[in-house]
Amino acid sequence: MVNCCGLLTSNKEPVPLKSIEVQLEVRDHVATVVSTLNYENKEDKPLEAVFVFPLPGDAAVCHFSATIGQTQIVAEVKEKQQAREEYDDALSSGQQAFLLEESEQSPDIFSLSVGSLPPGESASIRLEYVTELAVQADDGLRFCLPAVLNPRYEPQGRKPSQLNVSVQVTSVPASLVPYSLSFSARVSSPRPVSKVESSCSLDPLQYLNTEQTQATVKLAAGHKFDRDVELLIYYKDAHQPTAVVEAGQASAKPGTLMGDPVVMLSLYPEFPQSVMSSVSSCGEFVFLMDRSGSMGSRMNNSESHQTRISSARDTLLLLLKSLPMGCYFNIYSFGSSYEHIFPVWSTSQETMEEALKKVEVMDANLGGTEILEATQTYLQPALHSQPLFVFTDGEVSNTKDVINLVKKNSGSHRCFSFGIGEGSSSALINGLAKEGGGHAQFITGTDRMQPKVMQSLRFALQPAVVDISVTWDLPKGVSVTALSPPITTLFQGQRSLIYAQLTGQSSDAAEGCVTVKYSLAGHPSQNQLHFSLKPEEDTGLTVHRLGARTLIRSLEMEEREHRGQQDGGVKEKVVELSVQSGVSSSFTAFIAVNKGNNEPIRGPLVRRDVPIPSECFSNTMNATIIKQPSRDPLLQLVSLQKASGCWVLDPALAAALGKTSEEVEKPKPASEVWATILALIWLHGFKMDAKEEWELLAMKAVSWFRAQNAVFSHSVSSANDFLKLFCLFFSTMCGRVCGSWKYTVRLCGAERCPGALSF
């Protein structure tokens, strides 16, 4: 008879996992995460507890240990099959054993097995990993502790032998997770910490010094384990190139990765303005929309927020309206099946209207997430580099197959990926962008998707950077071995990370220099960074482990690309590097066996699958019928802009401006010039806080003005009076930025006046 005391699943089964404690340490833009999982067996039989959970897809797991009473067992990294056999052998002989392994299909899913936990026994599992922090559209650094693991969709017709059968996900609604989470963070940086924000409630930020370069923060009391924990960390002067040289491990052999110093460079390329302003931005855009059933779930647990598919629809509207004149586009959507809007590329007002009508009725009604087959259809060789925008909640199991396909086509498609909602696969979203030469964004909680997507559009409108090379200038006797793959993508002001192993001796005063050379629109350019070669000692080998993780991921991709064509040499390299560095891989696992037990644990083991929160627990295959909140007035106005850049004076525009048709038409005769001026002044007057969302389409409107050769200063004055705003004048129209006319708006003569704005 099962003793139903303690924590219970929704099926009334006891859960041996009692609590999770997470400590985060952020140093500049690198994070170290220590998670402690506390287990207790309150049943009368020995247990095997299996917990499948998410981690950031680019994390480097570097420590795993178990504490039972006063005994601590530190796990070793071994080849995966060997580790599994040792685990099974230990359980069969009555020994306690612990196994941690990464999914073979997606590096953001891990399985933790706690074996032979005796009745009444407690155990604490310590898991440590390091990860880089991604830079967001507003220059914040994003850390995400994944709490939600949605069921991964299995592609139709997939052979069972291809699956990692040891990984089984047990999901419950997030509100019913039967264990607690505590979370605290410490942030330190050479630059002051401006603020820390989160999708979850936080206690006030506490500064630890007068320079405000160190601070602590933690989750507020009463936090429910019902969402991912996301932190956004802001530093002053964040866009500064940096270099960290980390000393090698004293016990490791010189000449090896762990024995030599490793350098991590953070570069922020700055492109010449003369080149940027002279480049045409016309292109061919592919928009790929996930319409699987799980996209019908809400962005978060609040009833007032949109569904994922609704948010994606609004964002696609903004993207289409913001495309510069002369751009071609097509829209594809996928689920269990896939479809496209046009048989050929489109750019006219008529096709734009047709596309918007079809986007408006897109729903999460296409079943499963067959993203691989859909992507194979769309990724055809192209004469020019085509930006590919992928919107998905990322609930697929064949992550590596999809990423590999995008990499093979990266010569003709730059991939910009967007993970929508809690539980989206960070491995899929980041992998698509990294291997596709684009940029990744995550939209969760109360985030507005639009600012992040507009940042990606600006990147896509930047000219493609080619012929990228990295050269090193180091003292005599010091050599360098690259750990990062060659740089294939550079964007204006966006961070690029480079890891390299330094071999040889140098003085503490010695300096090195790295130069990134590239060609931009036919113009050769370069950026340099000088740095000290003196190693930092107290860094916990974080840089080494991140460098090892980077090299491991590159080798895994190489092995996957050439599977069946090689003799396993690449896999052997991965295993050797993983064991040497203590960093997880898809071919290795952490194994710990408690060999100190005098008495074997007797009796048949009872397996208990520890549940994980799931946003889409109710139905991931069928669309959900959810009442939508009313449309944002900004998006309502944006939807009315014509492909040429102008607005038309009609009842819909009047309603978007909060006026009647009679009120709008009274000050001036009905005309497109009058309507467009009203729209632009409304944007400047009421939506300056969302300027990054609409400035590209405003530039397009100004280009339309220029083509009209119209004199409209009196109309601007009338529009200001009509909307009861400030005095606004278009004072200049000069230069070109991303193919759109640059203009200056001068605001003056009112208490709301913020001065002169140029964009």
Q: What is the pLDDT of residues 96-116, one digit of tens each?
A: 999 999 988 788 889 999 988
Q: Global pTM?
A: 0.82
CA–CA separation, 525 and 490 (whole Å): 12
CA–CA separation, 653 and 658 (whole Å): 9
From 3.40.1130, 2.30.30, 2.60.40, 3.90.550, which CATH number describes the 17-237+580-614 domain? 2.60.40
| pLDDT tens-digit readout, 343-369 | 766 667 788 888 888 898 999 988 877
Q: Identify the architecture of domain 242-274+465-563 in CATH.
A: Sandwich (2.60)
Helices within 397-541 (DSSP H only): 399-408, 426-435, 449-461
CA–CA separation, 148 and 632 (whole Å): 28
Task: Determine the average pLDDT of the residues in 139-165.
Answer: 63
- In eight-state DSSP terms, residue 134 is E
496 is written with which tokens? 């690029």
Cβ distance 30 to 131 under 8 Å?
yes
CA–CA separation, 123 and 126 (whole Å): 10
Q: How many CB atoms lie within 10 A of CB 47?
A: 23
| pLDDT tens-digit readout, 66-94 | 998 888 999 999 999 999 999 999 999 88
Burial 53-75 (b: 16+ CB within 10 A, else e): bbbbbbbbbbbbbbbbeeeebeb
| Higher pLDDT among residues 419 and 23, named by residue | 23
CA–CA separation, 209 and 194 (whole Å): 13
CA–CA separation, 621 and 427 (whole Å): 22
| Higher pLDDT among residues 264 and 722, named by residue | 264
**Is 242-274+465-563 the same fold as 17-237+580-614?**
yes
| Higher pLDDT among residues 754 and 48, named by residue | 48
Give the CATH fold of the 281-461 domain: Rossmann fold (3.40.50)
| Higher pLDDT among residues 367 and 23, named by residue | 23
pLDDT at 264: 94
The helix (run of H) or strand (run of E) holding residue 743 is strand 740-748
| Domain boundaries along the sequence of the chain | 17-237+580-614, 242-274+465-563, 281-461, 633-758
Cβ distance 39 to 123 under 8 Å?
yes
315 is written with which tokens? 């964002």
